[in-house]
Chains A and B, each alone.
Chain A
Amino acid sequence: MKLLNLFLVPVFFVLASCDAQRLYVAHDTVLGINANVSPNRQRGRLIVGYDRDFTTVIPKSVPRTDAPGHDAMASLGCTNLEVEGPVLRKYRDLVVTGDAAIALGRQLRTGDFFECKAETVVGGGT
């Protein structure tokens, strides 16, 4: 999926009802060689290496407990990739939303945000 598609979906959400009613997260990650060309050969793309597109549309729907107004829905995403020479050593990708994202955010307070690594992810609590 190209970046155009990533952005078209949230555009449809927004056009349909002004404010988004759903949390939308999408990413398109390439590592290595990626080539594509249109059938009429008018449009082409060649990527050698790393390429990533990330898009999110987040409704601001959560009432704040300590002040007026609303905050955004909770979501948390991390990607961690390691390449040694020509070898892919590690690729970790995580997208979490809602209570699980809040719980993971709490667990990551003392950890590494990039790693997004916790022993257990517990949903439902705040």
Chain B
Amino acid sequence: MRTTSIFRTSSVLVAMCLIASGCNRTIAYGESTGFNLGIEADLATDAPAEVNVGFRRRVVGIVPPLEDADDGRVTGEAATILSRFEIDSTSNRQAILDTTVAVRGAFASGAAATELIVKNPNSERVLQDFANLEPVVVRVPDAPVERAVNEKLVSFISQSPENRDRYLGFAQGFGLAIPDSPSSGARALGAIGAEENASGNARIVTLLGL
């Protein structure tokens, strides 16, 4: 049986066990992630071979309500879990072997998840960063020089949160236009893309030695 089928079958099995027996005090969560060249085949079944080139991710979660149902009717919110996944890539077009790929995943449940988000005084910012819910539009300039500056800065801030803060520090220092957003990533990308910041961004690139 292929992994895909196994994942589905097993997930359904867990769900059926939980639902059929009236279980409402168990969370079942599973994820399967591939960023690869993957080939799977099972000649014993009719299932076709599976080939994956690139990214594949599956997530299954069965989450019961917080409040225990008295009469079989569910009320209230679901129990607390958090899950997050991210892939970051900084590529060097001149030397492909210099490309850096960072894969990050995180999961939390119960009070640990609550401490992270609900009880966090910066929960609004954390939630924005956590889910990356805010759409960010970055202007791509026509002028090659300006476009090169923007690409260097976007690559720079993508490398780490520290770089993002460093760029924002320079941008504030030079009085560049920075959009109002709770997400530092959205603020940095907005400042990089703003047309009126072109000369300031070029100075920052020089200062950073990019």
The secondary-structure label for the interface of chain A is mixed
A51 vs B121: C-alpha distance when bound (angstroms): 35
Contacts A84-B98, A105-B115, A113-B130 given: A79-B104 contact, CB under 8 Å?
Answer: yes
A109 engages B122 (CB within 8 Å): yes
Q: Does B66 have its Cβ within 8 Å of any Cβ on chain A?
A: yes
In the bound complex, how far is the Cα of B36 from the Cα of A51, in angstroms? 7
B116 interface neighbour in A6, A89, A108, Cβ under 8 Å: A108
Interface size class of B (residues with CB under 8 A): 35 or more
When A43-B44, A114-B84 are in contact, do A49 and B110 touch as well, CB less than 8 Å? Answer: no
Residues 134-165 of chain B, each 1 if its beta carbon lies under 8 Å from chain A, else 0: 00000000000000000000000000010000
Tell me if A109 and B26 are in contact (CB < 8 A): no
Assembled-state Cα–Cα distance A9/B119 (Å): 33
A-contact bits for B14-47, CB 8 A (1 contact / 0 none): 1001100111111111111111111111111000
Q: Are B100 and A82 in contact (CB under 8 A)?
A: yes
Inter-chain contacts of B112 with A (CB < 8 A): 74-76, 96, 101-102, 104-105
Asked if B29 and A56 make an inter-chain contact with CB atoms under 8 angstroms apart, the answer reads yes
A residues in contact (CB < 8 Å) with B: 2-4, 6-8, 10-11, 14-15, 18-20, 41-62, 64, 67-86, 89, 96, 101-102, 104-106, 108-110, 112-114, 116, 126
Chain B residues at the A interface, C-beta cutoff of 8 Å: 1, 3, 6-7, 10-11, 13-14, 17-18, 21-44, 64-68, 76, 79-81, 84, 86, 96-116, 119-122, 126, 130, 161
